[in-house]
Amino acid sequence: MLRFLRGEIASIGSDCLTLDVSGMGFEITCTRSALKGHKVGDLIKIPVFLHVSDGGLSLYGFCDELERDLFFALRRVKGVGNRLALSMLCSLPPQRLIRAISSGATDELIAAPGVGKRMAERICFELKGGLGGFSSALSEPLTEGENAIEKSVIEALKVLGFSDREVFFALERTKGKEAISDEARLLQAALRELQDSQLVVSNGTGQETPD
């Protein structure tokens, strides 16, 4: 099985990059964290998954082995294909995603486009007892200060009428761009993200046909 690729970044898109490996260009659909901080010309080693289907070959890339392993765990859930698993990893960082599944926090899982309430409940039900291999990620503490600030901002955004999906999606996109420890600045940044993204929330079940 293809485990990783090492090469030079030839181009970067919004959700993918092209990696030059000994003169061969591999287009890799990546999580947001796998793309973060990289630029054209960087030499990188990226964990990947090669998916083979009737439609052809697809490459998926991750920032580390934890993301890759979590991707495979999500794909074990009925109705979760490659695109939906990647969407979840792009919406929530692995540590938070694992915590949400373990605690049954479906309101966080529906932050991912394509994940509805029933799908979130299914993911929690099918994976809740099967995340023992991710115990090290669960043991990494979140600081009380970060939790308190986030909770205040979440409450403020909900008062303004934003849905759970919009709130969590905006916060994760904001935190993915910069670290903000001030409550007012985090709220302003999240509001800008919501305005700029023109987020459209689906009211469906969010089920996806596996790739």
Instruction: Say which amino acid occupies 117.
Output: K
Residue 50's DSSP bridge partners are 59
Residue with the bigger pLDDT between 206 and 85: it is 85
Res. 116: pLDDT tops 50: yes
Please give the residue that has the higher pLDDT: either 112 or 1.
112
**Per the structure block, which two tokens stand in for 15?**
């959700």
What is the residue-averaged pLDDT of the chain?
A: 82
Contact indicator for 71, 38 with CB cutoff of 8 Å: no
Axis crossing angle, helix 82-91 with helix 164-177, rounded to the nearest 10: 70
Model confidence, pTM: 0.67
Encoded tokens for 86: 């990647």
Using one digit for the tens of pLDDT, what is the confidence trace for 128-160?
777 766 755 554 544 444 567 777 888 888 888
Residues 6+ positions from 154 with CB-CB distance below 8 Å: 167, 168, 171
Q: Phi first, then psi: what are they for 112, rounded to 5°?
A: -80, 130
pLDDT of res. 208: 43
User: Greater confidence, 164 or 116?
Assistant: 116
22-29 average pLDDT score = 96
pLDDT tens per residue across span 55-108: 899 999 999 999 999 999 999 999 999 999 999 998 888 888 888 888 788 888
pLDDT, tens digit (0-9, with 9 covering 90-100), for 29-53 = 999 999 988 999 999 999 999 999 8
Backbone Cα Rg of the chain: 17
What pLDDT score does 137 carry?
57
Confidence of residue 199 (pLDDT cuts 50, 70, 90): very low
Give the whole-angstrom CA distance, residue 22 versus residue 182: 46
Q: Please check the confidence at residue 176 and state whether its pLDDT lies above 90.
A: no
